[in-house]
Amino acid sequence: MKRCEWAENQPKFYQDYHDKEWGTPQHKDKLLFELLILEGAQAGLSWITILKKRNNYKKAFNNFNPKIISQYNEEKVQELLQNEGIIRNKLKIRSTIQNAKVFLQIQKEFKSFNNYIWSFTNNKQIINHPKTIKEIPTKTPLSDQISKDLKKRGMSFVGTTIIYSYLQAIGVINDHTMDCFKSKVTKTNK
């Protein structure tokens, strides 16, 4: 079974992420929030580093419950800064709290974050069919638009490159290379 080049010869958990999540349309707000936070945590780091810490993040951040996270206080921030299982970056931790607040506002306005994020593509997945990973962009006008809107709403660590990666992670964009077994699979995780 051929995978995208970035997932070949990698640890099983990384291949599982490629095989079961990346590029697969996601619609559950809980997972959409989790991946948004993890993508922001990745800024300046590798995705494999974040995936290794994913379970630690779930424990540290109340299983990615935005209602709880939005209520974190300074004491909780200091506790998280001591947690060796996550990326201990003060700006990223504070961003997670602020982003949880904005996420909840978006849910209220659009009835779900899913409705919001998928509205940018009229609920359709973009399938690019790149031949190689070198053909995959790091940003597009779509990621520019979503990044700008999220920043305007008050989120941070949502630059256009992070948002492009996020759109790939949640399956709004399928960038599996043409030789990958997932290139034509568009199963939805609802």
Return the active site residues. 17, 39, 47
Check if the beta carbon of residue 99 is closer than 8 Å to that of residue 36: yes
Q: Which residues pair with 82 in a beta bridge?
A: none
Length of the chain: 190
Which are the contacts of 172, defined by CB distance < 8 A and separation ≥ 6? 25, 117, 118, 120, 121, 125, 126
Between CA 175 and CA 135 the distance in angstroms is: 9
Please calculate the CA angle 68-99-6 and round it to the nearest 5 degrees. Answer: 110
The token pair that represents 81 in the structure block? 């800064």
177 DSSP 8-state letter: -
Read off the tokens for 147: 């990044």
Euclidean distance between CA atoms 37 and 70, whole angstroms: 13
> Residue 92: which of 142, 120, 50, 144 has the closest Cα?
50
